[in-house]
């Protein structure tokens, strides 16, 4: 069976090659013959797109008012994924034959392909150009007015930006993030050989008991490591407790049913919480802009650091 199918494929390819070759004779005998159009179609089937396009251009040159030349050109440009140029060719074809349902169908199809391609390019640009510093510019201004030296708050801001960008890139690549708390160590006091800059908390949200135990551990860890800031990252999907999106009244969730992940930022003088929703577009996972949440209503864990007033 396999040999028979392979033989059929070869026969089909051979027939296409012969069709392309057979057009050479009439073209040589009569340069004005519309066989250029036939050869363009044959080259298209052979995926010899440059040659096909050249023949379609010749077809149009020989008879600028013949719809078929523009139709051939549109089909070839479609195969090249040059949808805007293909659409222009089909629209010209329709001008010379406004009753053609085939051309009308092509215009509808190419218009959709052009929109899809443009959106795919936009999605890829958003996926590859993650710029949390710009997204958090307002927070940067707030932090500059809080307690601490300029170097201190700039380090904290850079730490937050790097943590969030790493999480977003991981989500784009794998559709997941690890549940962890990242700590910003003190350059002089933290013993980095004994205390890691990140702690896995994948069991923290299983129950009130695991949640309470994890919080106690994290608060002590922050103190023992002399950390200056912490950033908690966790996917929404693993959270059995607390399900902060199920509150009522002031705790009512306003951000739909999207999948995504949370980021909670902790410092001695400032606390912030975001939800980063996720969606799928054209087969690609895409993180939306961070949603700023009321940490008083939706906190994932209580305050980690002793509070300093500004």
What domains sit in the chain, N to C, each tagged with a CATH number? 2-126 (1.25.40.10), 132-298 (no CATH)
- pLDDT, tens digit only, all 310 positions of the chain: 333 334 444 555 556 566 555 655 556 655 655 789 999 999 999 999 999 999 999 999 999 999 999 999 999 999 999 999 999 999 999 999 999 999 999 999 999 999 989 988 888 888 888 999 999 999 988 888 765 566 788 999 999 999 999 999 999 999 999 999 999 999 889 898 899 999 999 999 999 999 999 999 999 999 999 999 999 999 999 999 999 998 877 788 888 888 999 999 999 999 999 999 999 988 889 999 999 999 999 999 999 998 775 5
Give the tokens for residue 216.
Answer: 């106690």
181, with CB counted inside 10 A (0-12, 13-18, 19+), is buried
Residues 51 and 23: their CA atoms lie apart, in Å, by 13
Residues 225 and 189: their CA atoms lie apart, in Å, by 8
Closest CA to 144 of 134, 133, 156: 156
């Amino acid at each position: 069976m396999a040999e028979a199918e392979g033989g059929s494929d070869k026969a089909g390819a051979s027939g296409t090659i012969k069709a392309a070759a057979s057009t050479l004779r009439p073209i040589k005998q009569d340069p004005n013959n519309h066989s250029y159009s036939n050869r363009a179609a044959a080259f298209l089937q052979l995926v010899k797109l440059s040659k096909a396009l050249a023949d379609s251009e010749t077809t149009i040159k020989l008879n600028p008012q013949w719809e078929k030349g523009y139709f051939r050109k549109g089909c070839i440009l479609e195969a090249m994924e040059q949808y805007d140029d293909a659409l222009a060719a089909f629209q010209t074809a329709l001008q010379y034959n406004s009753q053609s349902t085939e051309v009308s169908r092509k215009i509808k199809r190419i218009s959709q392909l052009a929109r899809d391609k443009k959106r795919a390019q936009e999605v890829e640009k958003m996926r590859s150009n993650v710029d949390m510093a710009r997204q958090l510019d307002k927070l940067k201004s707030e932090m500059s007015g809080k307690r601490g030296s300029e170097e201190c708050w700039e380090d904290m801001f850079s730490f937050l930006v790097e943590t969030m960008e790493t999480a977003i890139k991981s989500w784009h690549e794998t559709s997941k993030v690890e549940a962890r708390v990242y700590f910003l160590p003190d350059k002089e006091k933290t013993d980095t050989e004994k205390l890691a800059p990140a702690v896995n908390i994948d069991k923290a949200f299983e129950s009130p008991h695991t949640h309470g135990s994890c919080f106690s551990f994290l608060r002590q860890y922050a103190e023992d490591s002399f950390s200056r800031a912490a950033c908690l990252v966790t996917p929404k999907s693993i959270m059995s407790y607390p399900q902060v999106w199920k509150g009522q009244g002031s705790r009512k969730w306003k951000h739909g049913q999207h999948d995504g992940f949370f980021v909670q930022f902790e410092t001695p003088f400032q606390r912030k919480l975001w939800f980063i929703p996720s969606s799928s577009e054209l087969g690609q996972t895409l993180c939306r802009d961070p949603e700023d949440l009321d940490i008083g209503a939706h906190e994932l864990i209580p305050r980690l650091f002793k509070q300093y007033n500004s």
